[in-house]
């Protein structure tokens, strides 16, 4: 074993992790079947946006004793004592985890595994998956897990775009199978500097998926409240303020387009064998209904209550602020729903790789504008004034995030801009000629 660690899967979880290991001097190999990813890394380019990653990649590759290799051959992972799997674990449409990517890599690795190897599952997985992997190795290779080879789940809990801020500070949960697996897995992750917390595999699995379930549920509550406020003609931001203001048991979050690959699928890993089926499905339905809620709200506020042949600007394609990650973003569901209403959709996102229009091109002459992503650069009165100046007279703004502090989910863009400008002392922009 001439390497310390192999990371199989160079996506948004795996590549930053490989860079972090290499940056701390561990001899690391990153493996991915996608040639565009391995070629980009080999050429010194990040295939996606992650704050700080470009600098780390340049530093790692600039060393005389380079500590990072890349390959498309999964068998090369066996050169390392520790093999970390950061593979996709989607859910099937009928509420069931899809472990096909994990099984495929295990089958590729089986002929090459030998005593002393430590296999770490980093991806989010359903309860029992770590034990399944351990049993799979024992069944097909006859290696005793915890004695001959080691298997553990070390879940990823870092927020998008915060990897290099959180990798060395968030507690690192380690759930090992049998004797010594937890200790072996912890030995490589200890190099990253985070405190190690040892537990069982199933408790590590549950901690990860319920971290995301908690956030998914907490965000569903204000989204449900937003819909109820629309029903009764109330202002959701005022109601949330009343709930939280100087109240020790408040804590209601703000509404928004709650999505992302983790939040939208991870609840299904609990739901597939749930003793209380349907509860988390209801949470999902609330968050999934926000795009339709916005479409219906726009229709009610436009002349003739129709979106047909009206230009609608959708601002934001990423699933959350300040990232280029579009995976499972609800913006695309929103766009499809608008198009089914025969709206003319123009979308813009300053970070998104699939965005082709500028803000001016998307908003100019729009009858309605939807803030689908709350990027930090948009959260000021000047951006609202710019939108109001570019959009058509009487254009309706839909912003469940309250990006500009306008304290309204829906409203005429020009009036909202004027209100915010008056309150904050801005001079409102004049409509463009």
| pLDDT tens-digit readout, 142-160 | 999 999 999 999 999 998 8
Residue 430: pLDDT band (50, 70, 90) is very low
Q: What is the pLDDT of residue 433?
A: 28
In the chain, where the domains are located: 3-202, 212-424
Integer angstrom CA distances of residue 307 from 39, 223, 242, 289:
44, 23, 34, 18
Those residues whose C-beta lies under 8 Å from the C-beta of residue 370, and which sit 6 or more positions away, are 294, 298, 312, 313, 314, 315, 334, 397, 398, 399
Domain 3-202 coded CATH 3.40.50.880: no
pLDDT at 390 over 60: yes
pLDDT at residue number 425: 63
Would you put residue 369 in left (φ > 0), alpha (ψ -120 to 50) or beta?
Answer: beta
Summarised one tens digit per residue, pLDDT across range 249-282 is 999 999 999 988 888 888 888 988 888 888 999 9
DSSP states of 220-284: HHHHHHHHHHHHHT--HHHHHHHHHTT-TT-----------HHHHHHHHHHHTT-SSTTHHHHHH
pLDDT, position 266: 87
User: Model-level pTM?
Assistant: 0.90
Helix (H, G, I), strand (E, B) or coil at 420: helix
The tens digit of pLDDT for each residue in 13-36 reads 999 999 999 999 999 999 999 999
At 413-429, the pLDDT tens digits run 999 999 998 887 654 44
Please tell me the predicted confidence (pLDDT) of residue 25: 95
The dotted CATH code for 212-424 is 3.40.50.720
Residue 302 is predicted with a pLDDT of 97
Decide which of 430 and 245 is more confident.
245
For residue range 53-105, list pLDDT tens digits in order: 999 999 999 888 879 999 999 999 999 999 999 999 888 877 889 999 999 99
C-alpha span between 44 and 304 (Å, rounded): 54
> Are both 3-202 and 212-424 of the same fold?
yes
Instruction: Give the model's pLDDT for residue 54.
Output: 96
What does the block give as tokens for 314? 């959708």
pLDDT at 397: 98
- Is 49 within 8 Å of 12 (Cβ atoms)? no
How is residue 232 written in tokens? 């009764």
């Amino acid at each position: 074993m001439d390497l310390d660690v192999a990371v199989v899967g160079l996506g948004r979880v795996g590549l930053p992790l490989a860079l972090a290991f290499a940056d701390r001097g561990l001899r690391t190999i990153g493996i991915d079947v996608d040639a565009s990813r391995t070629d980009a890394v080999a050429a010194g380019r990040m295939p996606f946006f992650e704050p700080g990653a470009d600098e780390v990649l340049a530093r790692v590759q600039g060393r005389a004793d380079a500590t990072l290799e890349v390959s498309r051959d999964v068998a090369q992972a066996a050169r390392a004592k520790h093999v970390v799997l950061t593979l996709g674990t989607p859910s099937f449409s009928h509420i069931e985890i899809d472990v096909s990517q994990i099984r495929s890599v295990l089958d590729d690795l089986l002929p090459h595994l030998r005593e002393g190897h430590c296999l770490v599952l980093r991806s989010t997985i359903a309860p029992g998956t770590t034990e399944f992997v351990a049993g799979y190795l024992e069944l097909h290779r006859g290696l005793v897990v915890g004695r001959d080879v080691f298997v553990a789940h070390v879940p990823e809990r870092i927020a998008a775009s915060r990897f290099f801020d959180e990798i060395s500070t968030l507690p690192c949960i380690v759930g090992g199978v049998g004797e010594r697996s937890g200790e072996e897995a912890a030995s490589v992750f200890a190099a990253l500097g985070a405190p190690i917390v040892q537990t069982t595999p199933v408790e590590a699995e549950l901690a990860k998926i319920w971290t995301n379930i908690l956030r998914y549920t907490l965000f569903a509550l204000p989204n449900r409240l937003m819909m109820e406020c629309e029903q009764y003609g109330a202002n959701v931001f005022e109601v949330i303020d009343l709930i939280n203001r100087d109240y020790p048991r408040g804590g209601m979050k703000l509404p928004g387009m709650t999505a992302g690959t983790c939040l939208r699928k991870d609840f299904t890993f609990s739901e597939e064998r749930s003793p209380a089926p349907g509860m988390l499905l209801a949470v999902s339905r609330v968050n999934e209904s926000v795009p339709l809620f916005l479409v219906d709200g726009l229709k009610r506020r436009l002349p003739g209550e129709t979106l047909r042949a009206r230009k609608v600007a959708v601002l934001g394609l990423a699933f959350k602020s300040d990232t280029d990650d579009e995976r499972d973003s609800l913006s695309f569901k929103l766009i499809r729903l608008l198009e089914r209403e025969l709206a003319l959709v123009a979308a813009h996102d300053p970070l998104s790789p699939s965005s082709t229009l500028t803000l001016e091109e998307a908003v100019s002459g729009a009858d309605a504008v939807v803030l689908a992503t709350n990027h930090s650069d948009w959260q000021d009165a000047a951006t609202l004034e710019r939108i109001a100046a570019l959009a058509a007279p009487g254009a309706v703004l839909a912003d469940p995030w309250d990006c500009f502090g306008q304290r309204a989910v829906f409203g005429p863009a020009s009036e909202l801009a004027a209100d915010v400008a008056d309150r904050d002392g801005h001079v409102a922009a004049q409509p463009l000629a």
